[in-house]
Structure 1
């Protein structure tokens, strides 16, 4: 028993010794390759290096390429195009004539021991003359309306892609601006640590700089997350499945061109696919009403064939069959098509009115954004590029106080972020106006 107890004691001492050599003390700081849980913050330099390395491996696209990828890979657009092609096939089928009917009949006859027979071979063909042309035109106009509807859906989706592209490009720009300001506070923090060790700075100033740096580090981390989300959203719209993210190029710094409201309205009334859709719908309903009215006059059937009897008589025959419209004159269908025509005309008028309002609103928003960008952008950016650099140099040389450095950094960040917001608002409203005008969306 004592022998077993001694062996257990030796084993316990060995395990404790092993744990003591592998686990750090509770108050020790983890090494560079050890995860410390939630007791320490990640190294900003290594995090930034990883982000830059990931960004370098990304695919960066411009707006034109993003829209091209969208047209090639977007599933919603492919579905709308397939539906339009289906109606195009139906329109092609409407032009086909009905197939003839071939019939062979043998009639054996007998009376007592006498036997006779008759054999018929006939072909029947229905002749569509009452509403054939109207039905063909109705199917053709429905296919045209479907193509216009697909074009309208495509324009709507293109605007979504453009907005996602603008958001991705903006996120990239915001990240660069915040990184510049954060670098200033990183350098200020290092400089403050050195000055404090030399007795040239107070503990309050060091803590204040450290707090400001932490605030900008948090903003920078949020900006990185915003960039990642914007890249993934853009990839979801323009790239096939399996591609995680894609980066967008920076928006142009120049302002898009001015557009008059008369020019915008004229282009919209000529180019908007919604108007083409409802115009085709009206024409389709006109043809459908005409076909319904003509169906009161039925289509005849022509039958021709060959007859042979067992007594040697034979010959050809010809017959015509005409349905008599005594009970069904298709009046209900004609009234229904007439009401559908009125509804299509009403919808066409409503669409024109909505498009006019949409164009006017989009033009007013774009004109306002362009005016604000022209008035405020130059004023915001005047001298802001040198403001931060001068403030940082002056602070390092002791010519500027801590409060002045903080004010200069905030002023620089506000000016740059405000400039980015103005540019984003301007380009977003410009693309919205192009969409309202029915014009292709692209950079000028």
Structure 2
């Protein structure tokens, strides 16, 4: 096993930078740079780092030693906590690079070693990646739960139960002459049914975890000049969109990112929906309609006119959409089911933001039970559910026990691929490709 090293803290100037070394030559790396052994595990020691080429001082640093397997990677690990100036960091990295037993780590290699050494399963690895990328409090909570194994424990629990059922089927196949109760696997049909129902309910919990991880998509739609861009600017608390009295000012979809109640939201301002007068506006309307169709939530906007009439209506609204009547400063209105606001004066904006935050929280809030956070989890669970349903069908039709066992085996393999228990070599590059060097 090669020994790897890399900067594990963020690049750039900082008060402290962390350089990590993992592998069998980690202790030697400490000895070469400090002239002393690494010290006792998990006890920080202050040492002078010297360049092995000419013994020049590189820095005064804290050294932390983690003896495998009680470390992040499961191997011997040394951490150099150095001052975070670029010259210091570069100097230590260059010195480590001169040691023949060391090489620079590839992206995600420390975490990949943790997986390969049984310290993390794939769902925990993904939770760690999500924690590094978390932008909101709710994302942080979800990522921590996943990194601590909440999701993996559910899937491994299902897999364990499934493997017990499969073991009975294999026993009937492999030991037909032994004194095994007849029709044993068929008597386990209720357990297969319970497993299928639990997985189906897990899948039916919307896309809550995926929405929280990736963000909720909210589209603002309506005819021209009802104040869609002004509303976007108000919600974003900055001048993100150009506002004009001229119809058709917004030609393309404009996005801003918000944090509403700890949930990341992508708020999209779309072109005004009308019979377009030219090809550019036609394309803008087409994109607006496509974005509105794919959005998790929509704010449908109409507006009061000075004469008391309405500009636009709510015919495009679907169940769960927010209906907003803008330009409340032009006069009173009691239109039912609509939030009355004025983007010009700010009237009603607090009510709109509160309602939007509530709906977004319902779409992607933290649930009591861990939620699916990635498409590959969903694909694996659907494949598992398909295998269970085929096995139940084979049991009902009294088909050969070998066919039942094969479907159960495929279902168990699909669950195992989620946590990394079986057949994962083709998944590893996908899981680890977005990790940074040093993690």
TM-score range, shorter chain: under 0.3
TM-score w.r.t. the length of structure 1 is: 0.25
Q: Which has the larger radius of gyration?
A: 1
Give the structure with the higher percent strand: 2
Q: Whose helix proportion is higher, 1 or 2?
A: 1
